[in-house]
Amino acid sequence: MPKVVDSRICTKCGEGKKLSEFYRKCTGRYGYWEQCKTCVAIKQKSYYQANREKCLARQKISGKKYYEANREKIQAYRDAHKERTKIYNKMYKAIDPEKTRVRARAERDKHSERYKKQGAIYRKTHKQEIIARNKLYNQTGGKVARLRLSDSYIKSLLTKHDSILRYRDIPVELVVLKRVQIQIERELKKETA
């Protein structure tokens, strides 16, 4: 009858520990690693600190490879969860707006030529749409933003009348709540009219 083992000694720290304290390893003795999880974590952390640039470069390459291999899958997920992604992005920007601005500026500077070309192509292909949008804006005097309840319009409402809030410091949650409040008020006006 085979011997049942429920603990072993770590070869690194020399302590006897339960098997749940070791990672599984099909080729290892008893099916577990020789070093405990704690010692492995310390080893990995020290390696990462000593070779940080190398590890980050490897992560970047593997991330790009994954994206290239799963481009359609990632795009399908983004298309299926547009609202969720939009809310997440707004909340991320609200948490650290300065970091977001610095990152966006660096991205624009790095790819400025590409953005200029894309803008020119967009303006050529959507010329009539742009003209119609500008015409509508000029006719309504900017009422379109009020009708759509854009973030900038809601933030301008929140900062009116000597508000203690500054425009850039308004959290996304407050903007969402104010938008819902305005929508409810508009629905009530429609029903009473």
The reply to whether 62 and 113 lie within a common domain is no
How many other CB atoms are found less than 10 A from the CB of residue 22?
23
Q: Looking at per-residue confidence, does 105 or 45 come out higher?
A: 45
The reply to whether 62 and 88 lie within a common domain is no
Distance CA 37, CA 47 (A): 15
Place of tokens 């720290």: 13
Q: Looking at per-residue confidence, does 80 or 172 come out higher?
A: 80
Place of tokens 């992005």: 89
Of all residues in the chain, what percent carry a pLDDT higher than 90?
Answer: 19
Is the residue at 132 inside a domain? Answer: no
The reply to whether 30 and 42 lie within a common domain is yes
- Kindly compute the dihedral angle of the four CA atoms of residues 108, 110, 111, 112, in this order, to the nearest 10 degrees: 60
The reply to whether 16 and 50 lie within a common domain is yes
Cβ burial 137-162 (10 Å sphere, 16+ → b, else e): eeeeeeeeeeeebebebbbebebeee
How many other CB atoms are found less than 10 A from the CB of residue 95?
11
Number of domains in the chain: 3
Looking at the DSSP bridge assignments, the partners of residue 8 are 17
Q: In terms of residue numbers, what domain contains 31?
A: 7-78
N- to C-terminal Cα separation, the chain: 86
The reply to whether 87 and 63 lie within a common domain is no
9-47 per-position pLDDT tens digit: 898 999 989 888 988 888 866 788 889 999 999 999 999
120-169 per-position pLDDT tens digit: 999 999 999 988 888 877 776 666 666 778 888 888 888 876 667 777 77
Stretch 66-70: mean pLDDT? 88
